[in-house]
Amino acid sequence: MLHDETLQRWLNRYLSVRACTESICAPLSEEDCMIQACEDVSPAKWHLAHTSWFFERFLLRDLDLISAPFHPRFDFIFNSYYKGVGSIQPRPQRGLLARPRLEEVMVYRRHVDEHIINLLNTSSDTIRREQWTRALNILEIGIQHEQQHQELLLTDMKYNAYAQPLQIAPYPTASIPCLESRDLNWIELPTGLHHIGHQAEGFAFDNASPHHIVYIGPVVLASRPTTNGEYMEFMEEGGYQRSELWLSEGWNQIKTHGLECPFYWQKTTDGSWQQFTLHGWQALDPLETLCHLSYYEADAFARARGARLPSEQEWEVWAHSQDWKPRGFDLGNVQPRRAQGIFGAVWEWTMSSYSPYPGYQPWRGTVGEYNGKFMVNQYVLRGGSCATPPDHIRPSYRNFFPPHARWQFSGLRLAKDLL
Amino acid sequence: MLHDETLQRWLNRYLSVRACTESICAPLSEEDCMIQACEDVSPAKWHLAHTSWFFERFLLRDLDLISAPFHPRFDFIFNSYYKGVGSIQPRPQRGLLARPRLEEVMVYRRHVDEHIINLLNTSSDTIRREQWTRALNILEIGIQHEQQHQELLLTDMKYNAYAQPLQIAPYPTASIPCLESRDLNWIELPTGLHHIGHQAEGFAFDNASPHHIVYIGPVVLASRPTTNGEYMEFMEEGGYQRSELWLSEGWNQIKTHGLECPFYWQKTTDGSWQQFTLHGWQALDPLETLCHLSYYEADAFARARGARLPSEQEWEVWAHSQDWKPRGFDLGNVQPRRAQGIFGAVWEWTMSSYSPYPGYQPWRGTVGEYNGKFMVNQYVLRGGSCATPPDHIRPSYRNFFPPHARWQFSGLRLAKDLL
Amino acid sequence: MLHDETLQRWLNRYLSVRACTESICAPLSEEDCMIQACEDVSPAKWHLAHTSWFFERFLLRDLDLISAPFHPRFDFIFNSYYKGVGSIQPRPQRGLLARPRLEEVMVYRRHVDEHIINLLNTSSDTIRREQWTRALNILEIGIQHEQQHQELLLTDMKYNAYAQPLQIAPYPTASIPCLESRDLNWIELPTGLHHIGHQAEGFAFDNASPHHIVYIGPVVLASRPTTNGEYMEFMEEGGYQRSELWLSEGWNQIKTHGLECPFYWQKTTDGSWQQFTLHGWQALDPLETLCHLSYYEADAFARARGARLPSEQEWEVWAHSQDWKPRGFDLGNVQPRRAQGIFGAVWEWTMSSYSPYPGYQPWRGTVGEYNGKFMVNQYVLRGGSCATPPDHIRPSYRNFFPPHARWQFSGLRLAKDLL
Amino acid sequence: MLHDETLQRWLNRYLSVRACTESICAPLSEEDCMIQACEDVSPAKWHLAHTSWFFERFLLRDLDLISAPFHPRFDFIFNSYYKGVGSIQPRPQRGLLARPRLEEVMVYRRHVDEHIINLLNTSSDTIRREQWTRALNILEIGIQHEQQHQELLLTDMKYNAYAQPLQIAPYPTASIPCLESRDLNWIELPTGLHHIGHQAEGFAFDNASPHHIVYIGPVVLASRPTTNGEYMEFMEEGGYQRSELWLSEGWNQIKTHGLECPFYWQKTTDGSWQQFTLHGWQALDPLETLCHLSYYEADAFARARGARLPSEQEWEVWAHSQDWKPRGFDLGNVQPRRAQGIFGAVWEWTMSSYSPYPGYQPWRGTVGEYNGKFMVNQYVLRGGSCATPPDHIRPSYRNFFPPHARWQFSGLRLAKDLL
């Protein structure tokens, strides 16, 4: 039997995550919420509805806690990619959703909330024990899922604001606390066998399991991520013109699209650099953590420095050896600031392609279409960023994006083989 | 010197056209106004702003009646294609314009209106005579231009509503007055020389001039446009499967896209046909005027009937011989209803490619980038439709679209050579 | 009854056209004959086979003069676009035809020739009169068809040679006879009614009929086509940078592809211009007839000169008024040389879109899929070029290409309205 | 000092590899050698020239053994992707190379051979010791490189023959020796640390180094690759219709292209399956080794069987444990025949993305643009196929292709975690 107190803790957590999502969107108008400036990003309205649909579809309806869908077409328009539950609105058409209106989506959120509140206020013995286990399992996944979408909301809002001619940033100008900068040191990992992957306590996505052993050879990792200033040197040395530094696909990308700097950067008429942020255009701070790179740019920079990207296993072993505490997002300043020696300012590209751990099993049922089916042609990023919910920042967490992606808060940390 | 009374008539006309545009958009929310479901259509918000920009840019600013642009970026985002006045937001990105918000666009409309009102309330001798001539000339063009966008608003609203999964029509269900149907008769044109093009009185776009002579040979035209029922027979006879009926490009279009009926039609599960309208889905009335065809479909249907499309000159000679009165749009029922023997229910494809009349000169200045530069690979449509402002329906009016276009209110009238 | 003498004349003509086709290809190796450098052009081997297939399919097999196809797959691979006789190898894949080998295609040509020779050596009363009529009708079309492909062979050979890195021209360096240049005069057409189209004698394609009346207003035409030198002035005056001179689609073409001169032209390191020809690279002669323009370039040039392109009817009336004799191709120098006051150096773009004459009927049967189905989005060229068989040069002949086409021998002649 | 005997052995090996390449192309005509049916494949003529260019450019010219290039444009047209030595003919245009003719390419081969023969016949002390080291190093790479192109020649010849309407196979019908089929057993790997990568003796490409340690957990591998019959069961069970078996990108590929079986397979009218081979169409033998799968198909099949693909490290450990001998290609029957328990019938997809080994360094100089720059978005295949030169079949050899590739001789071997 579950204690009411336990359920009350679940409820508080659920409500707090839901409120957080809405606070992220608070500055957006109906029109701001509808824009989809490229296929990779989604409209804020869609995120608001999709996260609710996840609870409705996989918790309330799969467990028969409600009898009918809220709306007959929402399975079509607010499903992201779960083929197990029917046909899906093509992703590039999410920007066409004038209807339902934002206010209708908010009604939908309240509808879902009400049923979840009812469930968690239920005297815990009114439903069967196994059902509770399953319900709380899905509730946990839904909460984690909504937190992931909080980061996507921030990255997509940034992209959508930038893509418009008026480039009106969603948040007011940030006061940037001037963090102290840190020197770069090299930290050696202990050569030998290490444990990798999520262990026992706390929630983790299926892709972080099973826990297993790897061998790590002699290697050092940088004590902090690369900074804007370090990358500007690379640019000034002709990094974008030297084909020998680049993976073949990376060279194609930068030449096809004429890239010469990270995404969101631009040179002003006086020759200085600025970057677009969720708080508007800012002068570039050379000591700030570098951000918005593709895997190709991160890899080319490392090669130019006689280094390489760490593997995800090296990264994880390194992170476990640090005295870290989660930082995560703060709507007062959603920008990776000056380096802090640990992680959590930017997602750090690793050299590891995203693939299953030995013995990996996706979750059962349709929610298992979450991680496994994307395990090809993507690369793992570790750490978490200034747009990540604090409790999603941990050593074993595996984020992943295709190597050309640049709109995420993605940077890098150098590694070097000791030979 | 201009009489104040004359100016008052201009003012009333201006205000009435502006109000009409806004009444068309009245049922749309901010989100409805932002959607652009394909490159060919524009968001309603863009139409509302662009028509205002036309007055601001070519009347108020070209004549120095205001000192500064309303907004520094509006020249970029609300210019359609006038290269003479600077760089332009690419057309496919009009759907990205979350900003300016609809309410800001309405403020822009009021700003422009105020200045036009001031101008027309000015004691007419305060500005120079030639400036008046020029001002009223542009005012006229601006009013006509806004009326053209009224039709585009209706066609684009239809397309945008249809493209969404929820397919919510902007207007309430129409009560469809059951017009009497009419038999099809063949009307012979007098063989010989005829005058073509706009003559003296009233406004006309530059493409309808100069007035000139053509020779018309022995031909008959149908007394009314083709009906849904007649086209359904063509479909039932396998019209979409018989390559010999089709222009090569038309055959490619229908096979590439799997077309088997006019746009907005769909077969219900009981085998009957229905069509999407600005008032929602309706059962198809076989006696109603056929609509939403490409040139290719119109041409193939005519060939199947041993007939052809009329030339635009034949059509114009025929129209002058009729006792017609303009009909135009009625927001209570924006759908071509039963045939009325004359024109104005649908735009009628002609076999004539859109090209300059002998001696054609575009208007001087940037407003001349209106018609002439599109005179290639487009075909002329004549008549006007159920979505056309009544005073744009006249025998000499030349509308034009590329032959694959299907989202306009476009149908056809048969013609036959007498040999 | 047909006289043997008549048949012998047919035979001689047939054999002479077939031999001419092969002499055009004489300098090509098996590999040269196989190349297809873009979708618009075809490999020489394909032309050699397709022209033979035309006789086999529409003459020998339609009239049951042979019992079986030469090869079961040739209907698939050597049909161009006659949907009436089965499925067709997609045009862009013609360059994949390593098999049949060139020598097998030559065997095919001989096979077809043998049967045609047998037919024409047949005592003429052995087959029925009507069959003769039909046979000679198709024979005529087949001969004319093969002559059209002679010009296409030359244009495609030029394109294919140019597209290769080694750019080896098929023919040896030409000795260029220095024709006298001519001044440009303006020739006025008689205002009033004129007859247009093919009349009684001699062969003509179906698209030149029926003969009919048009009205022509006051206009003058240039006495000779535009020269290289005149076009170079246009280029030097910034013609390719002035958007107001261009049709909107033309402007898109030149900006998308970065065009700044006619096709096959290139600036040498010393700043002078040269052009690629079937005889290799040559210095550009300012007095030579201008060639390899799109419709858009021709139209923009005319606009820059305060002129326009003639309509095809004006062109035809003008041509009938001239004392012309056919010139056509000469493999010793396949290049439009200095202007000769009449036509036949380049195909001349007219402003007329390609559409049916009043009362037009395509030929019956599958050979009727020849002209009519292309009557949309193409423009008429008149005159004939330095690559045209001499007996295809005549006032009523209608050639047609889409307006962006530049690889044909296409130039222009100016016209002006008299107002 | 080098012994002449040593040089003579080098010479013999060089000449034998060169002769082997030419024997592969022996049945091809000039036209067969020119075809490029898709971007992924190259014309045989190009392979013949490119392999020669490799020796000319990186051996003869880099070491100043010849003074001038054989042809000024060959650096442009026969360079594959070495950006360090200048601009390169775009890959999709290799099929345009009518010139140089095949016979000229053969002259080029002889020219290169002559210089290599001269070099190796040189009394070995006439050039400096270090130069010899470098020369023989590049010679080795050039030989290995040409052998890799032997396999590509076979795969591309197969693709090019198949893509043509006549589908004429290059080699005569094979007599298929009926090898005994073998049962599938599961072989367990020893859990713990293993050495991976190329060790000391013999040539290896840079990507197989450095030699390093990995930890391998409890796993079993199949004793033989999957057979046609096993895959047909998967197809019959609806494998191509069950989205839950597929990676998301794989599902997109099969649905976009309508794939329902491996490449080169086709169902006959009587319902049986046949496959296209270099020897023509053959009935499918259920006991033969399965071939021409994408990574996605291999992965989906494994998932359907409750298994997975092995990692490349697992595969290598397994292979070292086997008693294998190289098999490789035999022009009498270039098709993976019945399973033989070891490897070398088909390239076997592994689950490992292609990435650098710890401490990996590409070769110095331009030849280093060989492997490293492709280390992203590709997957490793191990083993070697029926089209692989025998001495390229070894446990440490890393082949790699993008996961959608199907035209290689690619199959799979199952693995299972022991939990």
* D45 alpha-carbon distance from chain centroid: 18
Report the percent of chain D where pLDDT is more than 70: 96
Nearest to B355 among C217, C243, C351 (CB): C351
Q: Note which residues in 149-188 of chain B have CB less than 8 A from chain A.
A: 160, 163-166, 168
Mean pLDDT of B56-69: 93
Q: Which of B303-307, C61-65, C315-319 has the weakest average pLDDT?
A: C61-65
How many CA atoms lie less than 13 Å away from D87 in the CB half-sphere?
5
* C88 alpha-carbon distance from chain centroid: 23
Number of H helices, E strands in chain C: 9, 12
Which residues of chain D make contact with C164, given a CB cutoff of 8 A?
96-99
Q: How confident is the model at residue B370 (pLDDT cuts 50, 70, 90)?
A: confident
DSSP 8-state secondary structure symbol assigned to residue C182: -
Q: Which residue of D has its CA nearest to A81?
A: D248
All partners of chain C with 3 or more CB pairs under 8 angstroms = B, D
Residue D316 above 60 pLDDT?
Answer: yes
Task: Please report where in the chains the tokens 């496959």 appear, as a residue.
Answer: D275
Instruction: Answer for the pair A78, A104: CB distance below 8 angstroms, yes or no.
Output: no
Instruction: Answer for the pair B337, B383: CB distance below 8 angstroms, yes or no.
Output: no
What's the confidence (pLDDT) of residue B364? 87
What's the confidence (pLDDT) of residue D415? 98
Please tell me the distance in Å from B358's CA to the nearest CA on chain C.
7
CA-to-CA distance for A196 and A180, rounded, in angstroms?
32
Instruction: Answer for the pair A279, A336: CB distance below 8 angstroms, yes or no.
Output: no
Instruction: Answer for the pair C347, C398: CB distance below 8 angstroms, yes or no.
Output: no
Q: Which residues contact B126 (CB under 8 A, 6 or more apart)?
A: none
Which residues of chain D make contact with A374, given a CB cutoff of 8 A?
247-248
Closest by alpha carbon to C192, among C210, C214, C212, C222? C214
What's the confidence (pLDDT) of residue D309? 98
CA-to-CA distance for B51 and B32, rounded, in angstroms?
18
Which residues of chain C make contact with B299, given a CB cutoff of 8 A?
376
Chain C touches chain A, with at least 3 Cβ pairs below 8 Å, answer no
pLDDT along chain A (419 residues), means of 10: 83 97 97 96 98 97 92 95 89 95 98 96 74 93 97 98 96 73 90 92 92 96 95 98 96 96 96 96 94 98 98 97 83 78 89 96 86 94 94 94 98 94
Chain D touches chain A, with at least 3 Cβ pairs below 8 Å, answer yes
What's the confidence (pLDDT) of residue D342? 81
What's the confidence (pLDDT) of residue A67? 87
Nearest to B243 among C83, C299, C374 (CB): C83
CA-to-CA distance for D102 and B210, rounded, in angstroms?
63
Q: Please judge whether A83 and D244 are an interchain contact, meaning their C-beta atoms are less than 8 angstroms apart.
A: yes
Average model confidence (pLDDT) across chain D = 93
CA-to-CA distance for A279 and D350, rounded, in angstroms?
46
Interchain CB contact of B89 with A (< 8 Å)? yes
Residue range B331-348, pLDDT digits in tens: 888 988 765 558 999 999
Predicted TM-score (pTM) of this structure = 0.95
Which residues of chain B make contact with A76, given a CB cutoff of 8 A?
165
Interchain CB contact of D244 with A (< 8 Å)? yes
Interchain CB contact of A73 with B (< 8 Å)? yes
Q: How confident is the model at residue C168 (pLDDT cuts 50, 70, 90)?
A: very high
What's the confidence (pLDDT) of residue B176? 64
The continuous run of DSSP H or E covering A15 comes out as: helix A4-25
D213, D312, D376, D378, best to mutate vs chain A, most A CBs in 10 Å? D376
Higher-pLDDT residue of B384 and D182 is B384
Q: Which amino acid is at A317?
A: V
Q: Which residues contact B27 (CB under 8 A, 6 or more apart)?
A: B170, B171
Which residues of chain A make contact with D403, given a CB cutoff of 8 A?
376-377
Question: Residue D264 — left, alpha, or beta (φ > 0 → left; ψ -120 to 50 → alpha)?
Answer: left
Alpha helices of A26-61 — where are they, by DSSP H? 44-55
Mean pLDDT of C188-210: 93
Q: In the structure encoding, which two tokens stand for residue D183, read together?
A: 């049962």
Closest by alpha carbon to D401, among D384, D419, D376, D418? D376
3-state helix, strand, coil split of chain C in percent (to 5) is 40, 15, 45
Report the percent of chain B where pLDDT is more than 70: 96
Interchain CB contact of D250 with A (< 8 Å)? yes
Residue B188 above 60 pLDDT?
Answer: yes
CA-to-CA distance for D20 and D391, rounded, in angstroms?
13
Instruction: Answer for the pair D377, D402: CB distance below 8 angstroms, yes or no.
Output: yes
The continuous run of DSSP H or E covering C19 comes out as: helix C4-25
What's the confidence (pLDDT) of residue C212? 96
Average model confidence (pLDDT) across chain B = 93
Alpha helices of A260-381 — where are they, by DSSP H? 295-304, 312-320
Tell me the pairing of strands D192-196 and D212-216: antiparallel
Residue range C154-166, pLDDT digits in tens: 999 999 999 999 9
In this prediction, the answer to ipTM > 0.90 reads yes
Mean pLDDT of C170-195: 85
What's the confidence (pLDDT) of residue B387? 95
Q: Which residues of D111-129 are buried (b: 16+ CB within 10 A; e: fewer)?
A: bbbebbeebbeeeeeeeee
Residue D179 above 80 pLDDT?
Answer: no
Instruction: Answer for the pair A268, D393: CB distance below 8 angstroms, yes or no.
Output: no
Interchain CB contact of B256 with C (< 8 Å)? no
Q: Which residues contact C104 (CB under 8 A, 6 or more apart)?
A: none
**Residue A87 CB: number of other CB atoms within 10 A?**
9
All partners of chain A with 3 or more CB pairs under 8 angstroms = B, D
Mean pLDDT of D31-46: 97
SS (H, E, C) chain B: CCCHHHHHHHHHHHHHHHHHHHHHHCCCCCCHHHCCCCCCCCCHHHHHHHHHHHHHHHHHHCCCCCCCCCCCCHHHHCCCCCHHHCCCCCHHHHHHCCCCCHHHHHHHHHHHHHHHHHHHHCCHHHCCHHHHHHHHHHHHHHHHHHHHHHHHHHHHHHHHHHHCCCCCCCCCCCCCCCCCCCCCCEEECCCEEEEECCCCCCCCCHHHCCCEEEEECCEEEECCCCEHHHHHHHHHCCHHHCHHHCCHHHHHHHHHHCCCCCCCEEECCCCCEEEEECCEEEECCCCEECCCCCHHHHHHHHHHCCCECCCHHHHHHHHHCCCCCCCCCCCCCCCCCECCCCCCCCEEEEEEECCCCCCCCCCCCHHHCCCHHHCCCCEEEECCCCCCCHHHCCCCCCEEECCCCCCCCEECCCEEECC
CA-to-CA distance for B201 and B209, rounded, in angstroms?
12
CA-to-CA distance for D299 and D250, rounded, in angstroms?
9
Q: Which residues pair with B195 in a beta bridge?
A: B213
Closest by alpha carbon to C343, among C362, C327, C355, C329? C327
Residue B200 above 70 pLDDT?
Answer: no
Q: Which residue of B has its CA nearest to A32?
A: B98
The continuous run of DSSP H or E covering A107 comes out as: helix A102-121
Q: How far is CA A321 from CA A189, A310, A381, A413, in A?
A: 9, 15, 18, 16
Which CB contacts under 8 angstroms, 24+ apart, belong to A117-124?
A117/A11, A117/A15, A119/A60, A119/A65, A120/A7, A120/A8, A120/A10, A120/A11, A120/A14, A121/A7, A121/A11, A122/A7, A123/A4, A124/A1, A124/A2, A124/A3, A124/A4, A124/A6, A124/A7
Instruction: Answer for the pair A143, A52: CB distance below 8 angstroms, yes or no.
Output: no
Q: How far is CA A413 from CA A248, A259, B271, C45, in A?
A: 22, 22, 63, 59
Q: What is the largest CA-CA distance in chain B?
A: 70
Residue A54 CB-density burial (10 A; 0-12 exposed, 13-18 middle, 19+ buried): buried
* A319 alpha-carbon distance from chain centroid: 18
What's the confidence (pLDDT) of residue C196? 96
Q: Which residue of A has its CA nearest to D213?
A: A215
Interchain CB contact of A100 with B (< 8 Å)? yes
Tell me the pairing of strands D347-353 and D410-411: parallel
Residue C221 above 60 pLDDT?
Answer: yes
CA-to-CA distance for D192 and A161, rounded, in angstroms?
52
Residue range B286-321, pLDDT digits in tens: 999 999 999 999 999 999 999 999 999 999 999 999
**Residue D323 CB: number of other CB atoms within 10 A?**
6
Which residues of chain C make contact with B83, given a CB cutoff of 8 A?
243-244, 251
Residue range C23-54, pLDDT digits in tens: 999 999 999 999 999 999 999 999 999 999 99
Instruction: Answer for the pair A180, A169: CB distance below 8 angstroms, yes or no.
Output: no
Interchain CB contact of B244 with C (< 8 Å)? yes
Residue D85 above 90 pLDDT?
Answer: no
CA-to-CA distance for D250 and D300, rounded, in angstroms?
9
